[in-house]
Structure 1
């Protein structure tokens, strides 16, 4: 398999700057680098800049890869050949909603030649949470990260830098703070560990890690099957009681009182109400829960789902 990394960060945070340091570190470790670079207007400019560092770069100009350019991104990733010892980096533009994108990267059945995605969020430490109405987006990009890099720290006093790091840690206790050199070592180790594996298991669950009793899912999202039908009020209570590590949850569900109907369910942070929309899915679609977050315990989530099933039985 190929390690897959989503790079996020608000506009001007320094994602491309991070890459210009990371790429030589990876090449020095014998790791080949592929990059999909998404930006509104200057993707081709940055692609040329990164290509000079001996990386294979595909520019995607235009809309965010989480929405308008999503199909182009998925088509690009699907065409990537299985090359052991390489990594795939996606530099998303600063307006990207990472939770939705992680869901696609995790569950798309055509991307099984990639590992479950890591997410590196680059943060402009000098402007952390000083973006007015865009603070929510910056926070959301941080909440789903597995790794965080604080950029532009030379502009801060040691006390201010510690304060920013503590603030980020409160927002996402499961993320690892990293540097380009440390992240290069992480990717090299991951590339070596999956070199002999061609495909990962479907549905976003890494079966290779399911031997331990207390399995913690370190990536951005995981999809698990729900019972064929569930009792409506118990399901609503289940969704509303999900642990704090689950930042976003959505999926498909059928209820005991309407077993012939399929609904899309969605829980967004900050909203107590679970959104339900009647759906007309493919005939083979099954009830599913997609959980997005960091440091989620799959064992705990499966136990909660099992209680739903036993309650109906």
Structure 2
């Protein structure tokens, strides 16, 4: 392995925990310190929707989306081959965001096999939503699995949580992974991340099928108003854990991005640029079927007509 080998930092965490927020923080911090990050985004459906958030600060050639497969299993070969093809550069660091249902232990077990010796052994950073930690019902096991072989655990969504809640979550994390460093996002020193060692924590194997959920996407027409966004998000049952969409609202030329997180909250923000795959609505979770998406879109448009 070369003396100046490139670090690979894989970010994992449950849907809505804040992985993309952490990745943007790492990207900005590395750029500010003179590093040259390369970013890989993975999602079930249309990871290209998230690419635009990064190419506002980086050239598009340094960001890659891998959609349609899970990098902890069926997509691992594609991911490994792509990492090996990343151009060499001074002060390089590779940042990978895994989809929110990845089997994190399997991902780390497979990713390091077959990488070029110009890379350091991959390390894993987990993102934990303090507010919703282990409140996922049947998905608690998957959420806990995602921290088992992480070298660092980053706490997010601590706003409006009590000190007792934070202490409880930290104790639980230490019980599951006593070797990981636990830290708040604003305390991260990115220059130290490449010096972390892969976790040596003993992990319990997860039933891999628990990390594989249905997903679906549909074309999304222009929506008459923002109320349509909320109508669409409310139309899906709780079994749909993630809703994402990007389209134009009313007569606006700019695109709007929206998402519904597993706790039911809806977030809306401007989308800079034009989505390469066109306007889309995406869902992840049990019951993600095209007919369900089309029904949600149609109902929102009918409701909009009644408002005019």
The two structures share one fold, judged by TM-score above 0.5 = yes
Aligned residue pair count: 200
Higher helix share: 1
Question: 1:67 aligns to what?
Answer: 73
Question: 2:129 aligns to what?
Answer: 124
Moved more, 157-166 or 145-154: 157-166
Question: 1:152 aligns to what?
Answer: 157
Q: CA deviation at 1:133?
A: 1.3
Q: Is the 8 A contact 2:10 2:97 kept in 1?
A: yes
How far apart, CA to CA, are the structure 1 residues paired with 2:206 and 2:50? 34
Q: CA deviation at 1:111?
A: 2.9
Question: CA RMSD for the aligned pairs?
Answer: 2.1
Q: Is the 8 A contact 1:7 1:90 kept in 2?
A: yes
Query: Aligned to 2:179, which of 174, 182, 195?
Result: 174
Question: 1:98 aligns to what?
Answer: 104
Question: 1:80 aligns to what?
Answer: 86
Q: Is 1:35 equivalent to 2:39 in the alignment?
A: yes
Q: CA deviation at 1:74?
A: 1.4
Q: Is the 8 A contact 2:42 2:66 kept in 1?
A: yes
Question: 2:166 aligns to what?
Answer: 161
SS of the equivalent of 2:108 reads: helix
SS of the equivalent of 1:111 reads: coil
Question: 1:50 aligns to what?
Answer: 54
Gaps of 5+ in 2: 208-308
Q: CA deviation at 1:94?
A: 0.7
Q: CA deviation at 1:218?
A: 3.6
How far apart, CA to CA, are the structure 1 residues paired with 2:187 and 2:68? 31
Q: CA deviation at 1:180?
A: 5.1
TM-score between the two structures when normalised by the length of structure 2: 0.61
Question: 1:89 aligns to what?
Answer: 95
Q: CA deviation at 1:161?
A: 1.2
Sort the Cα spacing of 1:111 and 1:155 in 2 relative to 1 into closer, same or farther, 3 A.
farther
SS of the equivalent of 1:165 reads: helix
Gaps of 5+ in 1: 191-216, 222-244, 249-267, 271-313
TM-score between the two structures when normalised by the length of structure 1: 0.60
Q: Is 1:114 equivalent to 2:93 in the alignment?
A: no
